[in-house]
């Protein structure tokens, strides 16, 4: 499947934190084509294993490459009179981005719904000035209270109903690009590996529950015990009203992060490979634990050497997250070349550099 | 009924072409004359066998939306609102620009990058822009022109128990009903008018009424239904599922009492549920029509719609059905009264 088609499919699928089953199945199915074994663990992580080509007897170097498959969303918190549904946030979602949004309530069956918004004719002028609060919002599914109760329960997850959009050039937009774009990148990475020799054993993982505390990453790293853990995620793209140094430019290439969460040698190596193969890249810093799976990898068991490769994304945590497929391709190529370069000497360097 | 096609067509005030084309095609086989006037109103005429009364049955084709107002060096597109829109609903939505329907998104700063004070304030049109994925002003201008109309990108779908969601139900539901009404034969001269630019001041209706010089006018509309959890019953305006809404008055018109009386009687006799619009605000084409030339007795019949002027509205298909019934009953009844007896100035 082309990366665009795969991204379209997984971005449109529901999978809020803790409810990733549906999107996990699609991902597992596609990862199977490029790996030797695919498993799911008790939290729901998809763990795909691709064996390296061994040239020596030594224990092979193990690399874990992960992207989280969960998305932010909402949860039904109350069924009100008239059949309207109250909602709670699931992950960091700006209530101001929800007014009159189309949603799918994942109850007994999937129900399309609309988040209500007054018509402007009856709006209080003061209301317009204020950012709407989550507790004022409600979902209308077009059923009476009685009918709603047959289909929906408190605790049911809700996702935004958004069709994947192909924009100018290689730009695409939609919901859950954070981090389905990363998952698509990992697929592309696996596809690229087919054409390269790599000694390293590769674990490609689609993690659960990143948005609520990188939980899938915690257990998958513990389980796999990799030497290297590379998180693949999205990072803030350039946009008006945000300082340039806080963002990365869309379509300017992959983003390689450095900072205390990142092993200096992995960062150096990624930059070196990008230069060597003329892969467009940009650099970014995070001054502490990153908001990615790398946060958990670094402190797994006795500690893991960690890296972070990202795709610039505009409008993060809205339902119109925008990225460029070019950046996905550049990132995948970088990771594949990086993986192919790994050998036991590099493992030595990771310690000796200190 | 053409509600789905009409709802999904783009037709922001002044840019009603796509909607007009759809309607033209649909009514052509049923009418004696069909013409478009200088402003773009589509006027269908069924001559009937008698000379009177001349009825103007109208519905506006346009919808609220946006218009391209400028380009940033970065390729981002600035816009203005066309018609009444709550700025806040534009955040995190997708849109279609111009006749080529170039897709774009209206994004917002990520929650991670916002200061706590920012979250308390709403986002205004001046702070928003459309992103079509163009990398520069030049690239954006290749696909989009200044003045291109922008409409919400919303699909029509039936949901719940006999409800439908979609955009522009104000007033594509009126257009769909008017098309249906034009399919029947009547003895009196009937002008079916699909007006332009209602949302920016009922401008199409003004010139159409002047041209037609009707004896009476019936305006078909989609009106606010605010029957939701956040509001008290007295503020509902109308309620979904309770039938067509009759208007006593709005900001633009006081409706003709005699015609309202007739409509109420007809509804009662035939057991059609009706309700009264409990709100005196907002404008309709009836405002302009009623003040045309020497004055025209006018009424408004509306289908209640939740969340109108927003990207997604919800209406009851039962209400749509009952509204059509009431309109058809009224048209059947009209020749009996005729101009002289019931509706003309004595």
**CATH numbers and ranges of domains, chain A:** 3-71+175-352 (3.40.630.10), 74-160 (2.40.30.40)
Question: What pLDDT was estimated at residue B227?
Answer: 95
Strand order in the sheet with A171-174: A165-166, A171-174, A321-324
Identify which of B112, B227, B312 has the shortest CB distance to residue A316.
B112
Question: What pLDDT was estimated at residue B297?
Answer: 97
3-class secondary structure, B197: coil
Q: Does residue B344 have a pLDDT over 70?
A: no
* Active-site annotation holds for B5: no
- Residue A235 pairs in a beta bridge with A312
A62-68 vs A201-207, strand pairing mode: parallel
Question: What pLDDT was estimated at residue B339?
Answer: 52
DSSP state of B341: I
Q: Do B123 and A322 touch (CB under 8 A)?
A: no
For the stretch B287-312, pLDDT in tens is: 999 999 999 999 999 999 999 999 99
The reported pTM is: 0.92
Q: Give the residue from B100, B128, B160, B252 with the most A CB atoms within 10 Å of its CB, the best one to mutate.
A: B160
Tokens of A310: 């990202």
Residues of chain B found within 8 Å of residue A246, distances taken between Cβ atoms: 113
What value does the mean pLDDT of chain B take? 95
Q: Does residue B268 have a pLDDT over 70?
A: yes
Identify which of A96, A143, A173 has the shortest CB distance to residue B105.
A173
- Residue B164 pairs in a beta bridge with B158, B315
Q: What is the mean pLDDT of residues B155-180?
A: 97
Rounded to whole angstroms, the Cα distance separating A143 from B88 reads 26
For the stretch A99-113, pLDDT in tens is: 999 999 999 999 999
SS3 content of chain B, % helix, strand, coil (to 5): 35, 25, 40
Q: Does residue B342 have a pLDDT over 50?
A: no
3-class secondary structure, B315: strand
H/E/C letters for each residue in B249-266? ECCCCECCHHHHHHHHHH
Q: Does residue B197 have a pLDDT over 50?
A: yes
- Residue B93 pairs in a beta bridge with B106
What class is the B3-63+167-343 domain? alpha beta
Q: Does residue B275 have a pLDDT over 70?
A: yes
| Model confidence band, residue B338 (pLDDT cutoffs 50, 70, 90) | low
Q: What is the mean pLDDT of residues B339-346?
A: 47
Question: What pLDDT was estimated at residue B230?
Answer: 85
Comparing CA positions, the residue from A226, A178, A186, A177 lying closest to residue A204 is A186
Nearest CA in chain A to B312: A100
Question: What pLDDT was estimated at residue A126?
Answer: 87
Q: Give the residue from A78, A85, A97 with the most B CB atoms within 10 Å of its CB, the best one to mutate.
A: A97
DSSP state of B248: S
- Stretches where chain A sits below pLDDT 50 are none
Rounded to whole angstroms, the Cα distance separating A158 from A103 reads 7
Tokens of B109: 């700063």
Identify which of B84, B107, B114 has the shortest CB distance to residue A239.
B107
- Residue B81 pairs in a beta bridge with B66
Contacts for B25 with CB less than 8 Å, ≥ 6 apart: none
- Residue A85 pairs in a beta bridge with A79, A139
For the stretch A28-86, pLDDT in tens is: 999 999 999 999 999 999 999 999 998 777 889 999 999 999 999 999 999 999 999 99
Per the residue annotation, which of A71, A210, A211, A321 is the catalytic one?
Answer: A210
DSSP state of B46: E
Q: The dihedral of CA B213, B216, B220, B225: what is its sign?
A: positive
Contacts for B344 with CB less than 8 Å, ≥ 6 apart: B53, B215
Identify which of A84, A96, A238 has the shortest CB distance to residue B228.
A84
For the stretch B239-256, pLDDT in tens is: 999 999 999 999 999 999
3-class secondary structure, B335: helix
Per the residue annotation, which of B198, B230, B234, B318 is the catalytic one?
Answer: B198
Nearest CA in chain A to B110: A316
Strands (E), chain B: 33-36, 42-46, 55-60, 65-71, 77-82, 93-97, 102-106, 130-131, 149-152, 157-159, 163-166, 190-195, 216-225, 245-246, 275-276, 297-306, 313-316
Question: What pLDDT was estimated at residue B254?
Answer: 96
Tokens of A199: 């000694």
Residues of chain A found within 8 Å of residue B115, distances taken between Cβ atoms: none
Q: Give the residue from B111, B113, B198 with the most A CB atoms within 10 Å of its CB, the best one to mutate.
A: B111
Q: Give Cα separations from A65 to A189, A213, A335 (angstroms).
A: 9, 18, 9
- Residue B303 pairs in a beta bridge with B222
Strands (E), chain A: 37-40, 46-50, 62-68, 73-79, 85-90, 102-106, 110-115, 139-140, 157-160, 165-166, 171-174, 201-207, 228-236, 254-258, 281-285, 305-313, 321-324
Residues of chain B found within 8 Å of residue A144, distances taken between Cβ atoms: 161
Comparing CA positions, the residue from B307, B67, B35 lying closest to residue B167 is B307
Nearest CA in chain A to B144: A168
Question: What pLDDT was estimated at residue B337?
Answer: 64
For the stretch B82-111, pLDDT in tens is: 999 999 999 999 999 999 999 999 999 999
Comparing CA positions, the residue from B292, B295, B313 lying closest to residue B304 is B313
Minimum distance, in Å, between the CA of residue A263 and any CA atom of chain B:
25
Tokens of A183: 């998952």
Where does residue A18 fall: left (phi above 0), alpha (psi -120 to 50 degrees), or beta otherwise? left
Under 8 Å between Cβ of B249 and B317 = no
Residues of chain B found within 8 Å of residue A170, distances taken between Cβ atoms: 133
Assigned CATH for B65-152: 2.40.30.40
Burial A212-230 (b: 16+ CB within 10 A, else e): bebbbbbbbbebbebbbbb
- Give me the residue spans of the domains in chain B: 3-63+167-343, 65-152
| Model confidence band, residue B346 (pLDDT cutoffs 50, 70, 90) | very low
């Amino acid at each position: 499947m082309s990366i665009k088609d795969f991204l379209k499919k997984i971005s449109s699928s529901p999978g809020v934190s803790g409810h990733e089953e549906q999107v996990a199945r699609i991902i597992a199915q596609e990862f199977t084509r490029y790996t030797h074994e695919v498993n799911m663990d008790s939290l729901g992580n998809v763990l795909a294993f691709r064996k390296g080509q061994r040239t020596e007897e030594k224990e092979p170097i193990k690399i874990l490459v992960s992207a989280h498959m969960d998305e932010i969303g909402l949860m039904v918190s109350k069924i009100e009179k008239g059949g309207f549904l109250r909602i709670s946030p699931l992950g960091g979602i700006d209530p101001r981005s929800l007014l009159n949004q189309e949603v799918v309530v994942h109850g007994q069956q999937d129900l399309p719904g609309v988040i209500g918004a007054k018509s402007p004719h009856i709006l209080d002028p003061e209301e317009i000035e204020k950012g709407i609060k989550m507790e004022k919002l409600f979902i209308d599914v077009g059923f009476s209270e009685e009918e709603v109760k047959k289909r929906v329960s408190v605790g049911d997850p809700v996702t935004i109903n958004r069709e994947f959009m192909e924009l100018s050039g290689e730009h695409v937009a939609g919901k859950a690009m954070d981090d389905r774009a990363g998952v698509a990148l990992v697929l592309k990475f696996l596809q690229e590996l087919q054409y390269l020799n790599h000694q390293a054993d590769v674990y490609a993982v689609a993690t659960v529950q990143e948005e609520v505390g990188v939980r899938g990453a915690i257990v998958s790293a513990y389980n796999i015990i990799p030497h290297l853990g590379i998180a693949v995620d999205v990072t803030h793209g350039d946009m008006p009203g945000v300082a340039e140094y806080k963002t990365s430019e869309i379509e300017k290439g992959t983003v390689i992060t450095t900072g205390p969460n990142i092993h200096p040698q992995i960062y150096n190596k990624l930059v070196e490979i990008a230069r060597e193969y003329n892969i467009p890249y940009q650099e970014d810093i995070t001054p502490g634990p990153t908001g990615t799976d790398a946060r958990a990898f670094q402190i797994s068991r006795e500690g893991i050497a960690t890296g972070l490769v990202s795709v610039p994304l505009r409008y993060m945590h809205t339902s119109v997250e925008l990225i460029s497929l070019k950046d996905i391709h550049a990132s995948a190529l970088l990771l594949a070349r990086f993986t192919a370069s790994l050998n036991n000497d590099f493992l030595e360097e990771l310690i000796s550099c200190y | 009924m053409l509600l789905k096609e009409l709802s999904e067509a783009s037709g922001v005030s002044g840019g009603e072409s796509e909607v007009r084309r759809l309607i033209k095609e649909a009514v052509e086989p049923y009418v004696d004359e069909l013409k478009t006037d200088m402003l773009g109103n589509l006027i269908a005429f069924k001559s009937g066998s008698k000379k009177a009364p001349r009825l103007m049955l109208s519905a506006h084709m346009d919808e609220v939306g946006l218009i391209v107002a400028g380009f940033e060096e970065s390729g981002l597109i600035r816009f203005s609102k066309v018609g009444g829109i709550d700025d806040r609903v534009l955040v995190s939505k997708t849109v279609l620009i111009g006749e080529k329907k170039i897709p774009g998104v209206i994004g917002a700063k990520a929650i991670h990058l916002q200061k706590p004070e920012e979250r308390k304030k709403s986002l205004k049109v001046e702070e928003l822009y459309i992103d079509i994925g163009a990398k520069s002003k030049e690239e954006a201008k290749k696909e989009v022109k200044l003045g291109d109309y922008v409409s919400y990108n919303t699909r029509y779908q039936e949901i719940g128990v006999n409800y439908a969601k979609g955009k522009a139900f104000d007033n594509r539901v009126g257009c769909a009903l008017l098309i249906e009404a034009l399919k029947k034969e009547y003895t009196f001269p009937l002008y079916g008018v699909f007006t332009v630019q209602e949302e920016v001041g009922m401008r199409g209706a003004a010139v159409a009424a002047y041209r037609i010089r009707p004896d009476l006018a019936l305006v078909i509309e989609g009106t606010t239904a605010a029957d939701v959890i956040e509001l008290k019953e007295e503020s509902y305006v109308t309620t979904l599922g309770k039938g067509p809404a009759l208007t006593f008055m709005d900001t633009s018109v006081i409706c003709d009492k005699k015609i309202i009386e007739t409509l109420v009687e007809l509804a009662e006799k035939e057991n059609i549920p009706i309700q009264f619009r409990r709100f005196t605000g907002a404008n309709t084409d009836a405002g302009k029509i009623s003040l045309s030339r020497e004055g025209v007795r006018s009424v408004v019949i509306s289908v209640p719609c939740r969340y109108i002027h927003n990207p997604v509205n919800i209406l009851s298909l039962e209400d749509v059905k009952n509204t059509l019934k009431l309109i058809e009953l009224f048209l059947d009844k009209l020749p009996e009264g005729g101009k002289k007896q019931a509706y003309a100035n004595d």
